[in-house]
Structure 1
Amino acid sequence: MEYSPIEKDKGQPSKLVNGLSVDVEDWFQVGAFENVIDRDDWDGLALRVEDNVLRILDLFAAADVKATFFTLGWVAKRHGSLMRKIVEAGHELASHGYDHARVFNFDRKEFGEDIRIAREILEDSTGAKITGYRAPSFSIDQRTPWAYMELAEQGYAYSSSVAPIAHDHYGWREAPRFAFKPLPWSDLVEIPVTTAILGGRRVAAGGGGFFRVLPYAFSRWAIRQVNREEQRPAVFYFHPWEIDPDQPRVPGAPLKSRVRHYTNLKKMAPKLTELINEFAWGRMDMLAHRQAEFAQELAA
């Protein structure tokens, strides 16, 4: 498949505003536990996402930053007042699908229904127009060429659903590292999560478990590389459960999943505070608008 890359911003690196995002799902909805916790059991488990999101809203308010909350329809359906608090605080509410099913496990019709239902729930709970989407587990890849067609036809302005690396759970190694237009007939913009170049190879540098497990100095180096050397905005993400060291432990989960999920939970909030105060951050829709605007300037 051929994609149209969006050229880098010619502004000063110090002026770059990076994209800050939160993937709003609860502790039991993560991909690492999908073979251990059945979806039919979700309603019987302790819901912790609201308290964690409220903590995040306070953290962002203290740093005076705005972000995008990519939220599951399942969560929004049960926490309508929380969705309104996100929007009232000036953040963007965007779609993360309905129940964290990965896109490459759908066909196009199923995917279209999933993003339609999730969007309706999000819009009905807040009255806000939903224009952004992030696939659960960054699951748009070479197997799902129809996903962008469906997003464009449903009126989404942007997606941030690609991790351009190789990973055992996800990844599209051949995808562009920076924003691109996946469809020649649409203004839809894809904004991949950030990677850096280390030893000639792409390495994940956009948040999540990598941010928790690795020293903060690595993330500082990676974002500086992207901002200063490549003159690109970085895209960072994390989950509400990552600031919750007291969340329940999942019996029977594989060792690798437990290590990934529970490592450094106590350190996450302080690291986030340092990160959002060191760099400039903004909402993903603002970043997408700038990328699309610049693409139009290039074509003019």
Structure 2
Amino acid sequence: MSQSVHILTFDIEDWFHVLEHRDTASEGDWCRFESRVERNTDRILECLDEANVRATFFCLGWIARTHPQVVKAISAAGHEIGSHSDRHLLVNQMTQRQFMDDLRTSIASLEDLTGHQVRAFRSPGFSISRQSIWAFSVLAENGVEWDSSVFASSHSHSREPALDITGPVTLEWRGMRLKQFPVVPGCVLGRRISFSGGGYFRLLPYGLIRHLMSKSDYAMTYFHPRDFDPDQPLIPNLPLHRVFRSYVGLKSALAKFRALLGHFHFIDISEANKLLDWDALPKLQLDGTSLSIPNGRKICLPA
């Protein structure tokens, strides 16, 4: 890359949208909790306005319907709106039909509200796995041009990334193209360390985050409104290890985020798409049953 590409993104969901937890598993459970998404999103928008930065906001379709003022405020501030699914379900626990219906509902809700085409998608929990790699073709078939559902390392919702990549690639299928913008860990002493969002950002010291960001020609950030809300309640019956992962570092996160905006130049996915030389980047071929990758191997796609 001729210049560093640091992308700023947010997943717009409420503080209780915790994956794989019985007390917050369904839409019926969510009405029991106070919503904090509007005040927390406003806090993010204020920071971005002060720094004169544009970002991509992956929003739930459910948020667009229940809190339309949140999505309208994001769009009115000039930020890009993408889909974060409709009801915050893990893709690797859905059928292809369920995923398609959820995706279409989210896109319709967001486009009807903003009047702008939804071109970007990120799955909840980066949950497009090797077993659900068919989701990429569903995205392309439904008009999505840019996806950021690959976390290029193991994480809590998938033991291995859907694609073994270390930067942006193009997926091609039946004449359609889907550009992939993964989250890529940094490297310290030969060890891969995630640093660019979520719990990792809150837990790591800022000096290390700044070091890893400065060493990255390409970096994809991912933040949530709850990441900057130290006063949020404790989610009932959350296991201790998840309490640690979800609540430690909340008090210092906003100051770290402001520092990050001051030290680096960030852009949204739309601008990154223009800057990247896609002809020079890898292309992966989907043929409906497998994914062909540059070293000649193929990954089978479940029927």
Q: Structure 1 length as normaliser, TM-score? A: 0.88
Identity %: 35
Q: Matches of 2:180 and 2:274 in 1, distance apart?
A: 11
Q: Which residue is equivalent to 2:104?
A: 116
1:287 aligns with 2:272: yes
Cα 1:276–1:84 shift into 2, 3 Å: same
Q: Matches of 1:289 and 1:186 in 2, distance apart?
A: 18
Cα 1:298–1:203 shift into 2, 3 Å: closer
Q: Matches of 1:87 and 1:298 in 2, distance apart?
A: 30
Q: Matches of 1:137 and 1:31 in 2, distance apart?
A: 7
How far off is 1:99 after superposition? 1.4
Kindly indicate whether the alpha-carbon contact (under 8 Å) linking 2:111 and 2:118 is maintained by their aligned counterparts in 1. Answer: yes
Match of 1:264 among 244, 249, 268: 249
Structure 2's unaligned 5+ residue stretches are 283-303
Q: Which residue is equivalent to 2:23?
A: 36
Match of 1:103 among 91, 110, 133: 91
How far off is 1:175 after superposition? 1.7
Match of 2:187 among 189, 197, 219: 197
For residues 22-57 of structure 1, give each alpha carbon's deviation from its aligned partner in whole angstroms, at most 9, with x where no partner exists: 11111110226x223242121231000011001110
Q: Which residue is equivalent to 1:51?
A: 39
The correspondence of residues 118-267 of structure 1 with structure 2, limited to 5 A, is: 118-173=106-161, 175-184=164-173, 185-227=175-217, 233-267=218-252
Kindly indicate whether the alpha-carbon contact (under 8 Å) linking 2:59 and 2:84 is maintained by their aligned counterparts in 1. Answer: yes
How far off is 1:288 after superposition? 2.9
Q: Which residue is equivalent to 2:13?
A: 25
Kindly indicate whether the alpha-carbon contact (under 8 Å) linking 1:80 and 1:126 is maintained by their aligned counterparts in 2. Answer: no
SS in 1 for 2:85: coil
Match of 1:68 among 45, 56, 76: 56
Kindly indicate whether the alpha-carbon contact (under 8 Å) linking 1:66 and 1:281 is maintained by their aligned counterparts in 2. Answer: yes
How far off is 1:171 after superposition? 5.0
| Letter of the structure 2 residue corresponding to residue 161 of structure 1 | S
Give the number of aligned pairs. 279
Q: Matches of 2:94 and 2:37 in 1, distance apart?
A: 26
Higher helix share: 1
| Letter of the structure 2 residue corresponding to residue 142 of structure 1 | R
Cα 1:298–1:150 shift into 2, 3 Å: closer
| Letter of the structure 1 residue corresponding to residue 177 of structure 2 | D
SS in 2 for 1:83: helix
SS in 2 for 1:44: coil
| Letter of the structure 1 residue corresponding to residue 235 of structure 2 | V
Cα 1:207–1:171 shift into 2, 3 Å: farther
Q: Which residue is equivalent to 2:263?
A: 278
SS in 2 for 1:270: helix
Q: Matches of 2:87 and 2:194 in 1, distance apart?
A: 25
Kindly indicate whether the alpha-carbon contact (under 8 Å) linking 1:139 and 1:171 is maintained by their aligned counterparts in 2. Answer: no
How far off is 1:109 after superposition? 1.0
Q: Structure 2 length as normaliser, TM-score? A: 0.87
Q: Matches of 1:253 and 1:51 in 2, distance apart?
A: 24
Deviates more, 1:251-260 or 1:76-85: 76-85
How far off is 1:274 after superposition? 0.2
SS in 1 for 2:22: coil
Kindly indicate whether the alpha-carbon contact (under 8 Å) linking 2:168 and 2:281 is maintained by their aligned counterparts in 1. Answer: no
SS in 1 for 2:243: helix
SS in 2 for 1:69: strand
How far off is 1:251 after superposition? 2.5
Cα 1:60–1:109 shift into 2, 3 Å: same
Q: Matches of 1:240 and 1:195 in 2, distance apart?
A: 22
Moved over 4 A (4+): none
